[in-house]
Amino acid sequence: MLESEYFRIKTKILEDPKEIMAHIHKGISIPILPEFRKYIEKDINVYNAKAIVLEEDIDNDEFGALTDKITGFSLVYEDGSDILYFGFFNVLDHDEDKIELLVEAIIDYAKNNRFRKIRGPINVPTMIFGWGFMVEGSKKDLFIGSPINPPIYQKVFQKMGFYILFKEDRYSMPALKMDPHKDKKLISMGINNGNYKNDPFDTGDYEYYYYNPTREELMEIKDEFLELNARFMPPSAQITPRASNNYNNLVDFIHTYGARWMMWVVRHKKTNEMVANGYVIPNLFSRNKKGEFDSVSFHAWVVHEEHRRKYLAMIMYGFTSIQGKDRKTPHYITWGSWPVGADNEANAAAARKMGGKKDRSHLILQYDI
């Protein structure tokens, strides 16, 4: 317990989802808009989440009877493994001693419940609230999935035995229109040997086809979609625990606030096997004069290892970009942010080649018990 002239602080565990929701906004810099609440509530229930909070016994004669006593917050949750995850970690005045007290409470909770590791911050649903503590010097404007914090947090965590598990960089980049039917390599692979002038998604003699599933189709192919991600995405891109829990939220969010073209699948024509997929997340915090979203997070794409070096990245980006740059489709995208694992030099090089500039980074930390 911490004490001062005006208050005493203790930690407390909240288990009631309604009580957690009443205070969760204190744990994140990204605004919790009314339309976001249903997604958080689903994840609180799916992950059996609890909250560990700092409660201050404040001298009401000094500060008034309406003073909020909850001044520090962290969500803790599990996925059935030996890892305790935390997210939405914040102390309202960023005081080092209070941060230490909240970290100690998380470690004690993990030990008392026989977890072997602690990992975070991972702010479910990550499609909105992202993950990691922001690295000092990062750009601090509001963007979907990009939390903001001062560097005192990672400093305290590392002082208390946490280490960096993953570092993710983000590249701010223009949304360039790239038509696959104008790419020389794809033309040589037969993409224009068809009816592409009337159907821009016709891929002729090229051995793959791209399409944007409906919301209902995405639910039907859920297992296939997730299996491809689980098998071929690098560990640094599989940050959300038990991603199958988030799939329904992801599909609903993109189709409710974004557009059908923001999720895609690529299949092999001969076998009909899904060999690639991906999605972008609409940035709800930036709009153009028409009220359309003007930016996205280039969030995820994956290619089956046996089908790489077949220009599938160009197929995915190209067919997505011609829709995102089409005035006839919902939203007109002019820029975006591409999250890249700091150890993924190939994707970082691709981001730079497309005009991207690294403007922010986040750290996922881990503690071994």
- Is 300 inside a domain boundary? yes
Look at residue 251 and tell me if it is in a domain: yes
What pLDDT is attached to residue 62? Answer: 63
- Are 42 and 16 in contact by the 8 Å Cβ rule? The answer is no
Does one domain contain both 163 and 225?
no
Q: Within this chain, do residues 218 and 144 fall inside the same structural domain, yes or no?
A: no
Say if 363 falls within a structural domain: no
Q: Residue 175: what pLDDT?
A: 86
**Which range marks the domain in which residue 281 is found?**
176-333
What pLDDT does residue 236 have?
66
Collect contacts of 2-9 with beta carbons under 8 A, ≥24 apart. 2/97, 2/98, 2/101, 6/58, 6/59, 6/62, 6/63, 7/56, 7/57, 7/58, 7/59, 8/56, 8/57, 9/54, 9/55, 9/56, 9/57, 9/71, 9/72, 9/98, 9/101
Residue 219 lies in a domain: yes
Same domain, 290 and 262: yes
Shared domain for 151 and 181, answered yes or no, is no
CA distance 129 to 32: 9
Domain shared by 27 and 120, yes or no = yes
State whether 162 and 202 are in the same domain.
no
Q: Are residues 161 and 183 in the same domain?
A: no
Check residue 328 and give its pLDDT. Answer: 83
Mean pLDDT by 10 residues, the chain (369 residues): 60 95 95 93 93 83 67 94 96 94 97 96 94 94 94 96 95 90 94 92 95 97 94 76 82 94 96 96 91 89 92 93 86 89 82 88 96
Please identify, among 167, 190, 221, the residue that sits at the C-terminal boundary of a domain. 167
For residues 145 and 236, membership in a common domain is answered with: no
**Which CATH number characterizes residue 189's domain?**
3.40.630.30
* Same domain, residue pair 126 and 11: yes
- Tell me how many domains the chain contains: 2
Distance CA 128, CA 146 (A): 8
Claim to verify: residue 184 and residue 134 sit in the same structural domain: no
Rounded to 5°, the CA angle 253-347-178 comes to 70
What confidence score (pLDDT) does residue 7 get? 54
Claim to verify: residue 136 and residue 26 sit in the same structural domain: yes
Q: Are residues 203 and 62 in the same domain?
A: no
Q: What is the pLDDT of residue 242?
A: 76
- Tell which of 167, 187, 207 closes a domain: 167
- Residue 346: inside a domain, yes or no? no
CA distance 184 to 240: 37
**Does 214 fall in a domain?**
yes
Cα–Cα distance for residue pair 316/276, rounded to 1 Å: 8
What amino acid occupies position 268? H
Which of 167, 186, 205 terminates a domain? The answer is 167
